[in-house]
Amino acid sequence: MAALTSQVDRQTHPIDKVDSEKGATDQRFPPRSSQPVTRQCNILLRFAVLLSLVLLVQHFCPFPSLLQWESESVAGLDDLCPQVEALTSPRHEALLQSLDQEFGSSEFRLKAYESLGGAVRIPTESYDDLGLPSEDPRWEIETKFHQYLESRFPKVHANLKRTKVNTYALVYEWKGTENVKPLLLAAHMDVVPVNPTTYDDWINPPYSGYYDGEWIWGRGSCDDKPGVIGTLTVIETLLERGFVPTRTVLLAFGIDEEATGYEGAGMINKHLLETYGPDSMAMIVDEGGTFSIYLDNRLSAIHTWTTGGYDDLGGTVFAAPAVAEKGYMDIRMDVLTPGGHSSRPPKHTGIGILANLITELEAHPHEPELVRGRTYYQGLECRAKYDTSFPASMRKLVQQSQTSDAKLRELQDLLIDFDPMFYAMSGTTQAIDLIGGGVKVNALPEAVWAVANYRIADSSSPAELMDRLIDFILPVAAKHNMTLEAFE
């Protein structure tokens, strides 16, 4: 978190001050749907279960359908989009075929949907101002969620070792038969709070968990209770089949991912380090949106959206894991000005000065940047190489952009013009999310503030962001005869 504070020399003019710290998190992208993404989400739990199963089985044995996908995907080896040989094993083929049939049954699906719906009905809201789990009673809803998991997944809780970390975060250990590095599957149990004044705006109540035959409605139905429920569902099913993993499987479920993450993931990290040591995990699989770029042949539209981990594009199946994460920073701006009666106002109150600053920042958004070697560009290279439905003109442009800076810029401009999600994926984003100030309608505000949330592009850095902010804030400070002390 970072703070911008303004102190006042009441004899002369205001003084502006800025302080900053760093942070890190991930970026979420909206799903492919015309439905209101803030209200509902297609659970796609069957795929979540299948994906978890593929990760759990030793050597990641594919389902029969996945065997075909792998043979289609591995189209060749070259510098443009290098591929690796598929890892296959017949060891669990019979089990996988049986589970594939079970997961496709209506009975299994409805049970899985109800598992998620029940989880959504428990409002595990995570607030920015939460105190310590041992002190703040708002954490106690997590106990109810624990009890729900125990009742819904009895075999998991009878066979896996569960550790409560920092009171409410959960770590499960499913012991493997061999002494090899474990697999870590992570998710989080908390959700963003729902503003009570918006309850009536929801088509279905935000914590109804209602299944309408296509969608699970409610907060957490996308982010990230499917991660928790899908993982536990597949392990419960494997335990029913008597499956024992060769590799130890760890589950880590956080409690404040939507806030700081310190009390959940932060404390889980400490626990895992103390228990298993450094560099002790074979693989970590967490939530995170994957994306695909869809174009029509006339290039009249380019659409980027999240997927469930894979896409069939032009007859080729692309695995789409999330392999990069944007940086994170919150900047709080506080403007302190002399108080007084509103009948004798200055030319600009503190609110007006803050509004000027916000307007200046929003008038100069960060430009998205297409950078060779970065995740988005490499995705384009793979699409150009292996997707037969990729427009020929754009394929040529991608190829030319590898060596031509002019063509790289042309490709970037094309994406800016036609793909509204390119900015969110490839640039540093800025959102002014919180604002407040003033205590009475006839009193000049002495303290006003706003918080801007930044998701920093992987081609940038916190230092670059702070330098850029100073460049835009300084003229505003000078305009209002204020001085700026930034990020001390």
Q: Give the span between the Cα atoms of 220 and 211, in whole angstroms.
A: 13
Q: Give the span between the Cα atoms of 160 and 56, in whole angstroms.
A: 14
One of 16, 125, 190, 330 is an active-site residue; which one? 190
Q: Give the span between the Cα atoms of 446 and 438, in whole angstroms.
A: 7
Catalytic status, residue 257? yes
Q: Give the span between the Cα atoms of 199 and 390, in whole angstroms.
A: 43
Q: Give the span between the Cα atoms of 326 and 29, in whole angstroms.
A: 12
Could you tell me which of 3, 36, 1 has the C-alpha nearest to residue 18? 3
Q: Give the span between the Cα atoms of 232 and 189, in whole angstroms.
A: 12
Residue where the block lists tokens 């968990």: 209
Q: Which structure tokens are listed for 359?
A: 């307007």
Number of H helices, E strands in the chain: 14, 18
Catalytic status, residue 129? no
SS3 category, 407: helix
One of 257, 258, 330, 334 is an active-site residue; which one? 257
**DSSP letter for each residue of 298-349:** TSS-EEEEEESSEEEETTEEEE-------EEEEEEEEEE----BTTS--SS-
SS3 category, 372: coil
Q: Give the span between the Cα atoms of 237 and 153, in whole angstroms.
A: 9
Q: Which residues of 299-330 are buried (b: 16+ CB within 10 A; e: fewer)?
A: eeebebbbbbbbbebeebbbebebeebbbbbb
Phi and psi at residue 198, to the nearest 5°: -105, 0
Q: Give the span between the Cα atoms of 456 and 433, in whole angstroms.
A: 16
The residues, ordered by sequence, that sit 6+ positions from 146 with a Cβ below 8 Å of its Cβ are: 164, 168, 170
Q: Which residues of 147-179 are buried (b: 16+ CB within 10 A; e: fewer)?
A: eebeebbeebbeebeeeebbebbbbbbbebeee
DSSP tag of 128? T
Q: For residue 120, count other CB atoms closer than 10 A to its CB.
A: 28
Query: What residues are labeled active site?
Result: 190, 257
